[in-house]
Amino acid sequence: MKRDTRKPKSGAHPAGARRGLPRAVVLVVAAAVVAMAWYALDRMGAHERRSTDPLERLTPAAAYDSALSLSREDRPLASLPYYRRALGGGLPEMWAVHFNYASALNNAALQIRGRNGVPIPVVPSSVERVAMMREALAHLDTAEVLAPSPHDRVTVIQARAERLGLWGLPWDAFVQCRRAQFAAPERKELAQDAVRYLRVLQHPEKSEADR
């Protein structure tokens, strides 16, 4: 039997032969598909992690209510994440949220717990406590700017004076008391607070009872 020695026509392919993409192109396409799959899985995982976070499931208003409840229960440190959720989720323009968050920061930084008869700060690191105080003062600044009435602004200024006095800064506390006094001269207790801090500056060697 004679073999067919005729050459295939131009453009034709032998039986069983397949045309395919170059190998490099196939590898690039495969890598892109794998990368897209990993990206989709990562996004799904991030969404799942967010959905399992109880704070993320709370509305800003609900988070603020929880923060206030924890503060009333004398748990200022536990309230801080709820205040942050409220501030980051839609309530940053409310002066009272900044004001109460600042109070919680200050109270958490100064809170003491007894352990084996020894008073221990709830926040053990002094560096962290100072950072919390600085953050509290920054939020008081924001609260003062956002306060809608002179009475509310005086409330913020008075709170700042008290915080500075607690942290052993009588001059700064005196200046804030004077600011509050000038803003609300009818409130005699503000003038009394200013005089009290002035006496501390004049007689630092005396105890509070002797001034």
Q: What percent of the chain has pLDDT above 90?
A: 62
Cβ–Cβ under 8 Å, residues 194 and 178? yes
194 has pLDDT over 90: yes
pLDDT of amino acid 204: 86
8 Å CB contact between 122 and 108 = yes
Q: Residue 90: pLDDT band by 50, 70, 90 thresholds?
A: confident
Is the pLDDT at 64 greater than 80? The verdict is yes
Confidence of residue 209 (pLDDT cuts 50, 70, 90): low
Q: Give 45-56 pLDDT, tens digit per residue.
A: 554 445 567 888
Q: Which pLDDT band, with edges at 50, 70 and 90, does 117 fall under? A: confident
| pLDDT tops 60 at residue 125 | yes
- Whether this prediction's pTM lies above 0.75 is answered by no
pLDDT at res. 37? 45
Least confident span in 46-60, 91-105, 110-124, 131-145: 46-60
Segment 135-145 mean pLDDT: 97
